[in-house]
Amino acid sequence: MIHLAIAIALLSPARLYYQPDHPVPININADFKGGDKAAFLLLLDPSGKVVGETAIPGDKTFDLGQALPKIWDGSTYYVQPVQADKTTGVGSALVVVPLWPPDARQAAMIKREREGKPFGLRIYAEQNAVMHTSEGDITITFTPDVAPNTVRNFMELVAGGMYTNIKLHRIIPGFVIQGGDPTGTGMGGPGYWIDLEASGTKKHEKGTLSMARSSDPDSAGSQFFICLDKIPHLDPNAQSAGYAAFGDVVGGKEVVEKIAATPLSDPRAGTPVDPPMIKSAELAPAPPRKVSK
């Protein structure tokens, strides 16, 4: 489970989920290297803007909801430990995700009824995904503010070993590279589907990670694709519900390009002669988030 990999951060949530009107206990890992330099906790929005702050509590366990009550206002935030300069980060941030219905109209109604207060919070240490492919490593960062459940699903699949000895079965130069099917045929998946989380705010651009699906918008599972260029018709529009963009390649861009140049036996279908492989994938501590000036 993704919340079991949090001992590598300065801050460790006591659990993954938290209910409204209850404490949000967070542990401070005293043995975290460099943790003694942390002086403040900054509450950041996804752009890195500081929207709240508090001094590092003296207790080993503290109530994050009391220290930074804004975490309950229904938006996605990051809690970043920093040094006294309030700029230099110490370890990975905590991701604070509000729990809302996946349907936008239902979510809007619930927000009105609950005066903006979510059903609960999902809190975990920020992690990147690292795919170890036959052509080299690819590092991916996530955007839970636009697709929180898609991010959670992908992280769970990575942690559970889904992306082990998996073919990158579809490669279309200038368009996408696709993988995540355990059968390598383009027909397989994890045995379930997830609801579409398409956002008009995150576009399909070069390096974007997104979920593959069938004609049914709610049919994504484990198959994903990486965009090789800007692909605006994959964004939500009048003709299509769009696709769930939920991350970006931040390391190994040259590996993506190498995979994109793989010889094809069927260029129209994007079938590789010798498919590149995802040997394994893992979650790794994300670097500290940058604080906007």
In this structure, what CATH number is given to the domain that contains residue 110?
2.60.40
Q: What is the pLDDT of residues 264-282, one digit of tens each?
A: 999 999 999 999 999 999 9
154 and 40 in a single domain? The answer is no
Residue 291 lies in a domain: no
Q: Is the pTM of this model over 0.75?
A: yes
Question: What's the pLDDT band for 122 if we cut at 50, 70, 90?
Answer: very high
- The domain boundary, picked from 66, 99, 125, lies at 125
Q: Domain tally for the chain? A: 2
Which residue range forms the structural domain that includes residue 119? 2-125
- Give dist(CA 203, CA 229) in Å, integer: 11
Residue 293 lies in a domain: no
108 and 154 in a single domain? The answer is no
Q: What is the pLDDT of residues 80-93, one digit of tens each?
A: 999 999 999 999 99
Q: What is the pLDDT of residues 83-120, one digit of tens each?
A: 999 999 999 999 999 998 877 778 788 878 888 889 99
Residue 145 lies in a domain: yes
- Alpha helices, DSSP H only, in 131-193? 148-159
46 and 132 in a single domain? The answer is no
93 and 169 in a single domain? The answer is no
Residue 147 lies in a domain: yes
β-partners of residue 115 are none
52 and 139 in a single domain? The answer is no
**CB contact at 8 A, 178 and 171:** yes
- The domain boundary, picked from 125, 158, 179, lies at 125
Say which range, 78-87, 114-123, 183-192, has the weakest mean pLDDT. 114-123
Q: What is the pLDDT of residue 107?
A: 78
Q: How many Cβ atoms sit within 10 Å of the Cβ of residue 281? A: 23
Question: What's the pLDDT band for 8 if we cut at 50, 70, 90?
Answer: low
Q: Residue 104, SS3? A: helix
Asked if the model's pLDDT at residue 3 lies above 60, the reply is no
Q: What is the pLDDT of residues 30-67, one digit of tens each?
A: 888 888 889 999 999 999 999 999 999 988 999 999 99
Residue 246 lies in a domain: yes
163 and 238 in a single domain? The answer is yes
Average pLDDT, integer, range 66-82 = 96
10 and 145 in a single domain? The answer is no
182 and 151 in a single domain? The answer is yes
17 and 86 in a single domain? The answer is yes
33 and 143 in a single domain? The answer is no
Question: What's the pLDDT band for 1 if we cut at 50, 70, 90?
Answer: very low
165 and 110 in a single domain? The answer is no
55 and 197 in a single domain? The answer is no
**CB contact at 8 A, 51 and 38:** no
- The domain boundary, picked from 81, 106, 125, lies at 125
Average pLDDT, integer, range 189-196 = 95
